[in-house]
């Protein structure tokens, strides 16, 4: 695990091959899961769960009270993954602006 202050970057490897990663952070108010990925042929093996749970533990150790994440509407598999792990839809609106 590599951590830069309140940032978290975890890598799962098998025999020296990267099979998953998660990037998370804590801004002092909320924690964020920015990216979580597992190579396709290892999805469903528990790697994503282990990475997410490790990130959650690290955020909790920083005093983080709540974790947010965003999922594209066209990714029902990811939504199902997070729902199985206790994440629920928040009554908020996410806004974005592309620069450049």
> Is residue 96 assigned to a domain?
no
- The two structure tokens encoding residue 33: 């899961």
Is 7 among the domain residues?
yes
Is residue 97 assigned to a domain?
Answer: no
Query: pLDDT value at position 1?
Result: 42
CATH number at residue 38: 3.40.630.30
Phi, psi of 75 (to 5 degrees): -130, 70
SS3 category, 71: coil
Q: Is residue 79 part of a domain?
A: yes
Q: State the total domains in the chain.
A: 1
Written as tens digits, the pLDDT of the chain (100 aa) is 444 567 899 999 999 999 999 999 999 999 999 999 999 999 999 999 999 999 999 999 999 999 999 999 999 999 999 999 999 999 999 999 999 9
Assigned domain for 93 exists: no
Phi then psi for 72, rounded to 5 degrees? Answer: -60, 145
What confidence score (pLDDT) does residue 4 get? 53
Q: Are the beta carbons of 8 and 58 closer than 8 angstroms?
A: yes
Instruction: Establish if 66 belongs to a structural domain.
Output: yes
Domain-located, residue 8? yes
Judge whether 68 lies within some domain.
Answer: yes
Q: Which domain holds residue 12?
A: 2-84
């Amino acid at each position: 695990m590599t951590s830069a202050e309140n940032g978290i970057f975890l890598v799962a490897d098998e025999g020296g091959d990267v099979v998953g990663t998660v990037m998370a952070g804590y801004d002092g108010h909320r924690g964020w899961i920015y990216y979580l990925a597992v190579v396709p042929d290892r999805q469903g093996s528990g790697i994503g769960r282990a990475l997410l749970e490790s990130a959650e533990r690290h955020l909790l150790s920083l005093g983080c009270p709540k974790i947010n994440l965003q999922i594209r509407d066209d990714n029902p598999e990811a939504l199902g993954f997070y729902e199985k792990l206790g994440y629920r839809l928040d009554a908020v609106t996410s806004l974005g602006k592309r620069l450049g």
